[in-house]
Structures are given as structure tokens and as C-alpha cells.
Structure 1
Amino acid sequence: MDMFEVTVIEDPAAAEASLDPMRARLLAALAEPGSATTLAARVGMARQKVNYHLRALEEHGLVELVEERRKGNMTERVLRATAASYVISPVALSSLAPDPAQSPDRLSASWLLALAAKLVRDVGALITGAARADKRVATFALDGEVRFASAADRAAFAEELAAAVTALVGKYHDDQAPGGRTHRVVVAVHPSMKKPADTGAGDSTDTDNDTDSGERN
């Protein structure tokens, strides 16, 4: 079976296993197949301890057996990570996950974070289902930056963006379309994180209530 490009972790125990620093290191190393012996030399740990961590990762479906090789009177198990990368779904947090249905506010950073968590949860579930059915998930995303001269320009941009998205939704939304499928639209604007090399004046991250986000069906 081919390695998945990304796997979304929903099980709390699997999430805990993946967050352990040594196990995370082993997962990264197992992008290419390896055994406890080869990994022990790479990470500088006793083979028995590596085996212990590998068993935990295998138990939670984060690594899988590729082949078994006979070496004298021993059998060497060659393992590989089940995915090139992993994302932990808010589902793993259960009742602690943020709920965007609580106090929706387009200018609230907390609501934006709740929307982002919902996005990870829903798309994660879609990816898992599509992988089982050997299909692709139909998605579209944009990512870019815009530098505003003033807070007033930022507010005007947010209003125009909301109006444009509302108009597009009104144009293409069809409740009665036979065989149609509802899609979720999430639009967000937030300050860019300052890169360590950025030292220009005015480039620091704002902390005022400057986030605009919207969600439409």
C-alpha cells in the first residue's frame, strides 16, 4: 500500500503518541523504510528502546510493517510511516475543541480559530473517507498577503470582501439543484506573522481586533 500524503489523527491516544518528541523523530525518519537496528544508529538510542517506541507507533496505526527479513536466527522487521505528514484533528480534544457556533463574531480572533479548527476537523474526515474509497477530495484554497496603509483601508477591504463573497454565493447557490452538493466556504483575514529576518518599521504583528472572517454555506 502506498504511503498517504497526509493522515489526520483523530484518536487521542494516537495524538499523544505522535507528540512524544522521540516518537515524532522516529516517524520523520520512517518516511523511508527502516528497522529498529538502523533507526537506533540514526537517533543514538538503544535498539530495545527504539523497539518500544515503534511498537507504540504501530499500535496506533502511525507506522506499518513493510517486510520481515531473516538475519541468522532473528527476524528483522522493516517499518514505514503510514503518511508523509500528520495533522492532529480537534476531534482528538473532544469536548475541549473550540466551537464556532458559540458567539460567532466576524471580528473575533477566537471565532476565527474555532473556524480553523472546524476546517481541520471536517477536511480531515473527508480525507480519511476519500482515502478509504481511493478518491480525491474536491477542494479549493487561496493563500496570499495584502499590506494595508491604514486600519480604515483594512476595514474597507473586509467589507468589500464580504460583499463579494456574498454576491458569489447568491449567484451560484441552488437549493433545488438535483444531485447538487453543499460546499462550505471559509474566508479569513489575519495579520501575517513577522519573520525573524523582518526588521522593517511597521512590520510587527498587530494585536488589536483586526481579524475579519466569514463562513458561508
Structure 2
Amino acid sequence: MGRPRRIVLIRHGESQGNQDDTIYERVPDHALELTADGLRQARQTGELLRGVFGEERVQAYVSPYRRTWDTFRALGLDPGLTRAREEPRLREQDWGNWQDPEDIQRQRKARDSYGHFFYRFAMGESGADVYDRVGSFLETLYRAFKQPDFPPNVLLVTHGLTMRLFCTRWFHWTVEEFEMLSNPANGETRMLIAEKEGRYVLDRPFERWGTPGPPGGGGP
């Protein structure tokens, strides 16, 4: 098959952490579960995707977090047509430790001022680190495309910031363009669709909260 006809990215359904910041004191980020609303969101998105994929084969790559695997399972894709593998490089931006709610809020406010791409959580990752490992994953994906029997659909079950950075890397957007983008809602998708000449286009844009300036901040 070669290059797939579509690459679908989905943000996991609502998790316990989206509902309650204090849970990070007691439960590791990677172990958070979906809420009832999160499961409902995933099932609704599954209805959409089953219509998109039809009887075509799907290669799925899933972040190793519990909430992403739970989201994938709730999609209800045909197991006879879908192959799934864990892909740690699609994980959430790591904080790297247990979190204090007040510290979380302080660091998030600092990140909003400093910039989501460059700000590094204490003992954790920056957006730039996530960008680099997404780039590494893309190299693996490009090699997989060369397989003659590669499925016509790729599904990435991941996280909001990772989705934005994947598209930033794929489409060669600037850091400033990335900073203007908002995360998709829980359970939302974005699709990269191949045109006849092989170029991929995004089915719909990310919401923006601002307009980027010229590369380099417009300085001399």
C-alpha cells in the first residue's frame, strides 16, 4: 500500500486529571483513568471513525497511558481490521514525579507566560522535548510506509499537546505558529488526508487564540 490515505489523531477522552487537579498527588499521570464522560466521548468518536475507515485496515499507535488505551478500546474498531501497538513516544508531556496542586498551577501559569514550547516542567519535559521524540517517531513511521502491505489508515491515540506538536513537525509550522494553537477537546480528532499528488492536508484547523508574527519574532 505504501503511504496511507489518512492519518487520524485523537485526543483521549476526559480523564480523572481533567476533572480534578488534586488527583496528581495520589495517582501517577500515566495511571489516570477515563471518567464516565471520557468513555462516552471515546464511544462517540468510535462511531465516527468506523464510518471513516469502513472495511479498510488500520494501523494504530497508542500512547502507553491508561487513558489512551482505554480510549482506543472504547472506539470499538474491528479487531480483524485493526492492528494496535504501544508507542511511548506519543505519550503526554512528562512531569516526571508526583505533583502538588499549588505547584501545578504555579508552573502552568509560568508556562503560559514563558511559552508552551520552551518552558520545562521541574524534573519534567518541555514542549521542545516532546517535539523531538515526535520527530523520532515520524522517522519510524516513514520507514513503515515503505512496507508494501502497510494499511491505508494510521490512527494515533495520544494527547492534546502531542497532537499539536505532531502537526507542527509534519507541516513544518514555526514555534510561534504552534504557540497560537489551542488543544483539541477530549475525544476530538484531526485527520491528515492525502491528496492525489501525495501531499497531506489537515481536515480542519486547530482553534487559534492569536495570530503568529513572522519567524524569529520579527526582530532584525
Query: 1 or 2 for the larger relative contact order (CA 8 Å, sep ≥6)?
Result: 2
State whether TM-score is above 0.5: no
Using structure 1 for the length normalisation, give the TM-score: 0.22
